Amino acid sequence: MNVLIINAGSSSLKYQMFDMKTEEVVAKGICERIGIDGHLKHTPISNGKPVFDEDITLPTHSEAITAVLDKLTGAEHGVVASLSEIGAVGHRVLHGGQSFSESVLIDDAVIKAINDNIPLGPLHNPANLMGINACLSAMPGVPQVAVFDTAFHQTMPEKAFIYAIPYSYYEKYNVRRYGFHGTSHRYVSAEAVKMLGGKAEGTRVITCHLGNGSSIAAVRDGKCVDTSMGMTPLEGLPMGTRSGSIDPAIIEFVANHEGLTREEVFDVLNKKSGVLGISGVSSDFRDIESAAADPSHPLSRRSQLALDVFRYNVAKYIGSYMAALGGADAIVFTAGLGENSAELREAVTDQLRGLGVTIDRDKNKARGKLLDITGEGSTVRVFIIPTNEELVIARDTKSIVEA
Ligand code: AMP
């Protein structure tokens, strides 16, 4: 069965198609600038046909889906002969609120629930729904599955997800911690369990998804018991452009002193903060690492500071999750930065030496591949595990459709 994976954003739509017999990606691509002008890059992988990379008019997600399906089935760039060869579609959906603790087959009730959760995911859920609706009309009768970023974290106990604000806000508006990157935390924690011997019961794993967006999860017996992102992805670690956790009083202070509205302050916290805000250089960790390493760079010191703040916070979260779990059997590094930055892994684990964590510095030089980098005598195993959220979505989609 071929399964098409859709990740719809407000002006973009990423896709991958998997052949589930082999779990290989047969084609992938991205539509960008939807609703502005439009661009499609489509890459056939299974048959060596040429890449399509051109501006095309994409007024809505509906035209974007039509263009994607045309490319997947067309003579020049296609990977299948017709739409009938696409057995199911899996959608990445940001916010399932308290409604979803696992992936589900999409029907009217599921669409209504995603819609009802828009107040919790105001930027993403409407875009995810546009992707779902576009597929439902372009491919009637093809089963569609929703896979939620929040679902894996629904096993958190109340003490981990309740904020210390009036309880009535939880009762009235569902204000609580939800957590994100759940598909990634689920995948890498399951891979870690395999590396620990295969039985989830009794295992304590801390998964660090460190990329442009970053979050950490504490996973006991294969189930999430705590995570760093909150009601929205703004909480927790400092990120590429997001502040992560700050004193909430800063919001009013900055609004007053800078003459900004509430919305403008939140824009600053989401888009101009994090390591970009501290370094003044970039939200991309590669740029920051090279500016920090170049003493002649005018923002070298601030770049090093941004890296130090980020790494210090990662180590603090890991330490606090060791407390939450009563120790740890494994720490996992994943996503763009976690998989590729040896410097980050070294700095974070150096900070954790007092808790018994060491790594093998030679093995740590590896990038982007599954590896056990545990140091001699370390009481906690340390793994690099490349994440694969799309494959998890494809596997969930296949198993739900075939059930
Ligand atoms: P992601 O959001 O998972 O795609 O991760 C993107 C982040 O990973 C960006 O900030 C990149 O700079 C960072 N990244 C990717 N490769 C490297 C690398 N080799 N060294 C440091 N950071 C990297």
pLDDT tens digits, residue range 133-145?
A: 999 999 999 999 9
Task: Output 122 or 38, whichever has higher pLDDT.
Answer: 38
pTM over 0.85: yes
pLDDT tens digits, residue range 232-266?
A: 999 999 999 999 999 999 999 999 999 999 999 99
211 lines ligand 1 (CB under 6 A): yes
What atom of ligand 1 comes closest to residue 337's alpha carbon?
Answer: 8
Å from CA of 239 to ligand 1 middle:
11
Residue 47: band (very low, low, confident or very high) from pLDDT cuts 50, 70, 90: very high
365 lines ligand 1 (CB under 6 A): no
Å from CA of 83 to ligand 1 middle:
35
Distances (CA, A) of 179 to 9, 45, 167, 207: 19, 33, 19, 13
Residue-level pLDDT at 369: 84
Dump the DSSP string for 228-296: S--SSTTSSS--SS---S--THHHHHHHHHHT--HHHHHHHHHHS-HHHHHHSS-S-HHHHHHHHH-TT
285 lines ligand 1 (CB under 6 A): yes
Dump the DSSP string for 179-246: -S-HHHHHHHHHHHHHHTTS--TT-EEEEEEESSSEEEEEEETTEEEEES--SSTTSSS--SS---S-
Residue 366: band (very low, low, confident or very high) from pLDDT cuts 50, 70, 90: confident
Residue-level pLDDT at 252: 97
149 is catalytic: yes
SS3 per-residue string spanning 14-56: EEEEEECCCCEEEEEEEEECCCCCCEEEEEECCCCCCCEEEEC
3 state SS of 332: strand
pLDDT value at 368 more than 80? no
pLDDT value at 290 more than 80? yes
Per-residue pLDDT averaged across 166-171, rounded?
Answer: 98
As a whole number of angstroms, the distance between CA 329 and CA 341 comes to 22
Residue-level pLDDT at 367: 82
Å from CA of 289 to ligand 1 middle:
11
pLDDT value at 122 more than 80? yes
Residue-level pLDDT at 370: 87
Domains recognised in the chain with CATH numbers: 2-148 (3.30.420.40), 197-384 (3.30.420.40)
Å from CA of 219 to ligand 1 middle:
24
Per-residue pLDDT averaged across 298-324, rounded?
Answer: 98
333 lines ligand 1 (CB under 6 A): no
18 lines ligand 1 (CB under 6 A): no
